[in-house]
Amino acid sequence: MYNIAAVSFGELFLKGKNRGSFEQRLTDQIKYALKDFNGVTVYKDSGKVYVETKNHEDMDQIIERVRKIFGISNISPSVKSGKDVDAIIDKTLELFAYLLEKKDIKTFKVKTNRTDKNFPIKSMDFNALVGGKILEKFRSVKVDVHNPDVEIYIDIKKSCYISTDRIKSLGGLPVGSNGRALLLLSGGIDSPVAGYMIAKRGVEIDALYFHTYPFTSERANEKVLKLKEKLEEYCGKMKLHSVNMLEVHKAIREFCREEETTILARRFMMRIAEKIAVENKMDMLITGESLGQVASQTMKSMVVIEEAITMPVLKPLVGLDKTEIIKIAKEIGTYETSILPYDDCCSVFAPAHPLINPRLENIKRSESKLNIPDLIEKVLATREIM
């Protein structure tokens, strides 16, 4: 029955002077999310975006896709009708008959919104007119303006749209409305969730993955690629950079103490990420760290790791328990991929007893044995866009 979805934006960001560009951005994102559907057109009509399809059986799937785009507050499955009075009444009756078949409706209400003031009947009068027609045709139902089983919403703009339900969306701000950041994306549970949370606040993200090929497998790469694709359902198109950390690990192993490996390697990761972020005009990094979860995520470790760079690091999961993170991972659909067994980081180089209380001066002394710029250059030379 439904051949068009009316998409309403969140209110917050709509007030400013950027409204037009946000609307355009959201329209583009909706088009991108629906690129593999045939017969779909996306257009604006006074304050809402409409997704019209020639194949109404695609509607549920279309709504499921669009619902994931940040910055949308709700979506109404609708039918589009001609704009003359009789056409609207006919379509409304047709929709009402369809609804009656699907659910038990005893009471209803009609609500008209007349944006097009050229439409000849005022909203209140039109409510009464259409309501009367419904009562005439469907003898079992009554009007209830306070608590109806169904509200028929007739929105008269350039075209006329008739709907009954609002499907709540994920909220957030449109991606791209709030700057750009680089997500350090591993194959684990946490970092995809971290990326999701920051993208939800309107940040456009690219991802960076560190591998240690041949010690980490091709399958680990594929897993990260799959996570990126899952994230794209929410964040829009993302670039996934990957680099090989092998040279760094070899140097650390040769010149430094084993228990310092994790901290040293993570300082390198931060430096490399910062470089790639700057190059791509991104202002912050994002990681999936949560305070106290593992040795490198103690307060002291975080301080020492981040001392290597000046760029701020967003850690949206910092105060969450693992069970809370897992819950979100399941909701957004990354969990099943994240728990696949292929490891993203190389166990060959992982220390048996990592430091939990690293001291910056010790770490710096160890680093003085390494040629940092040279190692960074070697890692950056392995860069690929996956």
Which residues in this chain contact ligand ATP in the complex, by CB under 6 A?
A: 184-186, 188-191, 208-210, 287-289, 293-294, 296-297, 344-345
- Beta carbon of residue 184, minimum distance to ligand ATP (angstroms, whole number): 3
Minimum CB separation of residue 366 from ligand ATP in Å reads 19
Comparing CB distances to ligand ATP, the nearer of 197 and 251 is 197
Closest to Mg ion by CB, 186 vs 290, is 186
- Looking at residues 239 to 298 of the shown chain, list those that interact with Mg ion (rule: CB under 5 A): none
In terms of DSSP bridges, do strands 167-171 and 240-244 run parallel, antiparallel, or are they unpaired?
Answer: unpaired
The distance of closest approach from Cβ of residue 70 to ligand ATP in the complex, given in angstroms and rounded to an integer, is 20
Instruction: Please give the full DSSP string across 368-381, using - where no structure is assigned.
Output: TTS-HHHHHHHHHH
How far from each other are the two terminal CA atoms of the chain, in whole angstroms? 41
User: Smallest distance, Å, CB 133 to ligand ATP?
Assistant: 58
Of 22-30, 181-189, 268-276, 312-320, the segment contacting Mg ion by CB under 5 A is: 181-189
What is d(CA 91, CA 2) in angstroms, rounded to the nearest whole number?
11
Total residues interacting with Mg ion, rule: CB under 5 A: 2
For strand 240-244 and strand 204-211, is the pairing parallel, antiparallel, or unpaired?
Answer: parallel
The listed partner (ligand ATP, Mg ion, none) that binds 227, CB under 5 to 8 Å by sort, is: none
**For 339, which DSSP code?**
T
Binding to Mg ion by CB under 5 A, coded x per residue (else -) over 149-178, reads: ------------------------------
188 binds Mg ion (CB under 5 A): yes
- 20 vs 341 by CB, closer to Mg ion: 341
| Beta pairing partners, 111 | 153
Nearest residue to Mg ion, scored by beta-carbon proximity: 188
User: Min. distance of Cβ 192 from Mg ion in angstroms?
Assistant: 11
Return the bridge partners of 211, or none. 244
CB of 293 to ligand ATP, least distance (A): 6
Of 261 and 297, the one with the shorter C-beta distance to ligand ATP is: 297
Tell me if 265 sits within 8 A of 249, measured CB to CB: yes
Tell me which amino acid residue 76 is: S
Closest to 232 (Cα-Cα) out of 259, 204, 268, 255: 204
Rounded Cα distance, 245 and 253, in Å: 12
**Which one, 186 or 366, has the nearer CB to Mg ion?**
186
Maximum CA extent, the chain: 89
Give the sign of the dihedral formed by CA 304, CA 305, CA 311, CA 315: negative
The closest alpha carbon to 329, from 217, 230, 211, belongs to 230
Q: Name the residue nearer to ligand ATP (CB basis): 274 or 344.
A: 344
Residues 6 or more apart whose CB falls under 8 angstroms from that of 324 comprise none
Q: Which is nearer to ligand ATP, 190 or 247 (CB)?
A: 190
DSSP summary character for residue 348: G
Stretch that binds Mg ion, among 29-37, 79-87, 179-187, 327-335 (CB under 5 A): 179-187
Distance CA 265, CA 3 (A): 54
- Which of 33-41, 139-147, 184-192, 319-327 is the region at the interface with Mg ion (rule: CB under 5 A)? 184-192
**Structure tokens of 357?**
């209380």
Q: 208's torsion region: left (phi>0), alpha (psi -120 to 50) or beta? A: beta
Q: Which does 360 bind (CB under 5 to 8 A by kind): Mg ion, ligand ATP, none?
A: none
CB 188 → Mg ion: shortest distance, Å? 3
Tokens of 352: 């048996």
Q: Report, in Å, the least distance between residue 190 CB and ligand ATP.
A: 3
Single out the segment in contact with Mg ion by CB under 5 A; choices: 157-165, 188-196, 199-207, 240-248. 188-196
Q: State yes or no: residue 186 binds Mg ion (CB under 5 A).
A: yes
